[in-house]
A and B are shown apart, each in its own frame.
Chain A
Amino acid sequence: MNARRHTIIHASPIRVIHWLNVLTILAMTLSGWRIYNASPLFDFSFPRWITLGGWLAGALQWHFAMMWLLIIINSVYLAYGVLTGHFRKKFLPVSKAESWNNFKQALTCKLQHKPGTYNSLQRTSYLGSVFLIILLVASGLATWKPVQLHWLAWLMGDYEGARLVHFFAMSLLMLFVAVHVSMALLVPKTLLSIITGKVSVAATPPAQLSYAEIPSTEAGDAL
């Protein structure tokens, strides 16, 4: 067995933002489901036991308190991602053909996972989740303030349009969360690395080697 060393693949600001987002988005979603139940858009309601807030007033209090945290956390994230080059380094470039290829590989359990570097499908998904959070904030603000933020409401298709956009953006984000959590559980060391920031890799070949170049037989895990 090779000697192993630890390398930081998730910088500490990213880890803090990630877990704050987990708590905030969970609270936003569960209180949002209770708000949805007060006047369902479709022919179903969310099970009451899973919702947050107890009754409509409580759920609204949670939703409009956590809203500020959601906005603050993700503004910091966007600023950090752009200014440090985090987005450019980790999420770009993306390729439609390659993402589709990754998708087919994932379905046939042939997709390789290299800690610290993302394949095209992961990049697309993570960029998608960032876009969905922005869309959720925008459609949420339009639903909250259709008169004062009239331009945002106009963009979302008036008040009722904004409600629909908000609902579907939530649904897609929850789809992302479901896949993301499943993948993390399938490769438990990824879960560990978003907590500690570290991943252990083989000491050889030489230390200068970047993760993108590590042979998939060493660091990769078949999904």
Chain B
Amino acid sequence: MKKLSLGSNHEWLAANRKDIQQIERRFFLKGAFSMSALALLSGCDLTHDVTTQRILNGASRLNDDMQARLFDPSRLAKEYPDGMITKPFPFNAYYDRSKVPAVDGDIYQLELLGLVREKKPWALKQLAALPQTSQVTRHICVEGWSAIGKWGGVRFSDFLQRVGADTTAKFVGFKCADDYYTSIDMATALHPQTLLALTFADETLPAEYGFPLRLRAPTKLGFKNPKHITAIYVTNVYPGGYWEDQGYNWFSGC
């Protein structure tokens, strides 16, 4: 898979984000027409051209903004009756099912980092002792397929309040036992249907669906719902993500 040459200085990117966006926007409007003309002449190789890639990335940042603006914090994703749950529920990851990480629930600890007041790690039992809620919602993959599942766990906004997270910060990032990482906007983190899920189909989260802890946000595409979460951090520095750093749209809301 071809990696994007995004550069490594994320802090610089974050600090100059507004300016970059403006420049990129101008680029986008000027370039979109001639780019499309060129695309037809030279085919898909053009996508890897540096200028084209800059324009496409600029458009993707513009789409981050548009989606954040379109996001209604009180708009709930549709909930379905239990009878509509997809069976079997698809497995999906950046690796094969045989590579699913085996996390030991007895010694597992959830780490908290960044702009959080109480950074004491959480054991699985402590998380299970918090008030639980569940939902039957549609999980939509960036590939296009969707499946309806039932997830249960702790409402993420309750958890963030409880640990004293700075909810005025921009991003919440996740690190996972399978080396996956991703991040979401604070507005989505605080959405009432965003859960730290401990169960799937009323049972302890199976390994392939993210044991011991995953994020369930029905207002985000599947790859923004990280599995096997080992650390959560709150930050104002754009954290990116495994797929996002390769060119997938960061906001990716539904």
Interface residues of chain A, those whose CB is within 8 Å of chain B, are 20, 23-24, 26-27, 30, 35-36, 38-39, 41, 49, 51-58, 60-62, 64-66, 68-69, 145-150, 158-160, 163
Contact = CB atoms under 8 A, between A and B. Distances in A.
B47 A145 contact: no
7 contacts: A23-B36, A54-B44, A60-B248, A65-B28, A148-B75, A148-B253, A159-B140
Contacts of A160: 146
A56 B143 contact: yes
A159 B56 contact: no
Given A26-B36, A160-B146, 4 more contacts: A146-B78, A147-B218, A150-B75, A159-B146
A-B CB proximity, top 5 nearest: A65-B59, A39-B144, A57-B247, A38-B143, A61-B56
A66 B32 contact: yes
Contacts of A20: 33
Using C-beta atoms within 8 Å of the partner chain, give the interface range for chain B: 35 or more
A192 B72 CA distance: 49
B78 A64 contact: no
A143 to B, nearest CB: 8
Interface of B: 1-2, 28, 32-33, 36-37, 39-40, 43-45, 47-48, 55-57, 59-60, 62-63, 67, 70-72, 75-78, 138, 140-146, 218-219, 243, 246-249, 253-254
Contacts, number: 112
B140 A58 contact: no
B75 A147 contact: yes
A41 to B, nearest CB: 8
Given A55-B2, A62-B56, A65-B59, A35 B39 contact: no
Contacts of A64: 59-60, 63, 249
B142 A147 contact: no
Give the interface centre of B1, B28, B63, B71 by most chain A CB atoms within 10 Å: B63
B78 A53 contact: no
B246 A57 contact: yes
A38 B247 contact: no
A148 B144 contact: no
A56 B142 contact: yes
A38 B201 CA distance: 27
B44 A146 contact: no
A53 B253 contact: no
A57 B243 contact: yes
A69 B37 CA distance: 13
A195 B168 CA distance: 54
Given A27-B39, A56-B142, A58-B47, A148 B254 contact: yes
A148 B140 contact: no
B138 A159 contact: yes
A65 B32 contact: yes
B15 to A, nearest CB: 24
A69 B32 contact: yes
Contacts of B77: 147
A66 B138 CA distance: 27
A20 B37 CA distance: 9
Most chain B Cβ neighbours within 10 Å, of A39, A147, A158? A147
